Amino acid sequence: MAVLTHRLRRHGAGLLLALGLLGGDVSAQRPHVGEQGLKAAFLYNFTRFIEWPTFAFAGSSESFDVCVLAGPAFSREVEAVFAGEQVAGRAVRVVFPAPLENLKSCHLLYIAREQGQAAQHLSDLAQMPILTVGEGRRFLEQGGVIAFQVENNRVRFDVNRRRAEATGLIISSKLLRVARELWPA
């Protein structure tokens, strides 16, 4: 698993394109890379194509906090992918389970479909410079920034551009070009 995680991080954008965006089959091509592993790799790679406003960080030494509201298996995948990495020149700290009262300190927040209250969390964080990632169309309708979609055994993603702009996040055109769907259309 450590070798695979290292490869997922190091081959970043190329692997992101090859596995997920341009046809990464979550069951056939790489049986040892499951859907959770691909989604964790996507999270890391999203951070390479998104710019956070300077006011998102209290100081130059503040860590980049990745918060996970998901089960322990996915949380471990995320922790493995981000281990030893930096985002925007900052050390990464993976927080799981993310304490609900501290979600405003997150820079990236993943909310699993099975977690309740996604709409409430998204409403509470609506104006914060937080990349919110979840699953399904409903997540975007509720105010999420990026939502995973699994279609034909392929992990894809949609982007809510309006929400990203409202939070001050700048999403690279490279990432937008490979999104399955952009909101609003």
**CA atoms within a 13 Å half-sphere pointing along the CA-CB vector of 134:** 25
- Reading the block at residue 32, the tokens are 């040892």
Provide the whole-model pTM.
0.84
Using the predicted structure, report yes or no on whether residue 20 has a pLDDT greater than 60: no
Q: Which of 20-24, 38-42, 43-47, 103-107 has the lowest mean pLDDT?
A: 20-24
| Percent of the chain residues topping a pLDDT of 90 | 71
At 129, is the secondary structure helix, strand, or coil?
coil
CA distance 140 to 163: 9
Q: Are strands 108-111 and 146-151 parallel, antiparallel or unpaired?
A: unpaired
Matching residue, tokens 């050390």: 91
Q: What is the pLDDT of residues 113-146, one digit of tens each?
A: 887 788 999 999 999 999 999 999 999 999 999 9
Q: What is the pLDDT of residues 158-178, one digit of tens each?
A: 999 999 999 999 999 999 999
CA distance 105 to 141: 23
CATH class of 2-183: alpha beta
